[in-house]
Each structure stands twice: as C-alpha cells, then as structure tokens.
Amino acid sequence: MREWLVASAIGERLTVQQPFAEKLAAGKLELNARLTSEASVGVSAKVQQNLITGRVSTSVMLQGALKTVR
C-alpha cells in the first residue's frame, strides 16, 4: 500500500529583502496514487498568506501522469 498511495504535508516560509520585500507563509497537503505501473494521479491543496498585506490565497491542483514502458 505504501508504494501505491503517498500522502504529504508541506510548510514553507519565504522572505525577500528590499527593494522587493515579500514575506509569505504557506501550507500544502498532497495525495498521490499510482494506479498502474504506467499511470498515476495526484491532488493537492495549498493555502498561502502574505504576511505583509494579510491577503490569503488558495489553490487546488489535480495532476495526471502517464509513462511509456518498453
């Protein structure tokens, strides 16, 4: 089961100095499943906050991958 289904949680902080000051904090959850040896699918959700302006943004991603085997 652990080879076919992978869950992960990621936290990150970004700080950029002047003249383009930025301070961001984000959290991301991912779930990836290998359907066959050639196909996999993944979904992730991310929440990011700009610590200077207080704005919060969210994103959701669905990803599919196929590979050829010879």
Pairing mode, strands 5-16 and 22-34: antiparallel
Residue at 44: amino acid letter: S
The rounded distance, in Å, linking the Cα atoms of 39 and 31 is: 15
- Residue 37 tokens, joined: 């040896």
Place 38 in a pLDDT band, splitting at 50, 70 and 90: confident
Torsion sign, CA atoms 39, 45, 50, 55: positive
Place 2 in a pLDDT band, splitting at 50, 70 and 90: low
Reported pTM: 0.75
Interval 39-55: pLDDT, tens:
999 999 999 999 999 99
Domain that holds residue 40: 5-66
> How confident is the model at residue 37, as a pLDDT?
82
Place of tokens 């590979």: 67
Domain count, the chain: 1
* Integer-rounded Cα radius of gyration of the chain: 17
